[in-house]
Amino acid sequence: MLFNLKKFFGALLMPLPLLMLLMGLALLLLWFTRWQKSGKTIFTLSWLFLLLFSLQPAADRSRIPDLSRQRSGQLHRGVGRGLYLQSRLGT
């Protein structure tokens, strides 16, 4: 049960679903409440972030893994062997 909840909420916190949820919340604020200024602000910011994440430089940067945060090893490219993880303790 807890595993399923973790997977569900983990998927919702990805950038695209999160921005779509914020846009939906903003539309609900616009249509059904008196907080129309907040709804407009949330919708505009969500749309701008979605546009920013959709542009080529930002999309490419988000796909590159941050290798400096790996503590257990370094990523090397072997000749004819593809990518493999080599421990810092040994060769």
Res. 67: pLDDT tops 70: no
The tens digit of pLDDT for each residue in 3-18 reads 888 888 888 888 888 8
The tens digit of pLDDT for each residue in 72-86 reads 555 555 554 445 455
Alpha-carbon span 17 to 79, nearest angstrom: 40
Residue for token pair 């060769």: 91
Q: Give pTM, 2 decimals.
A: 0.57
Res. 46: pLDDT tops 90: yes
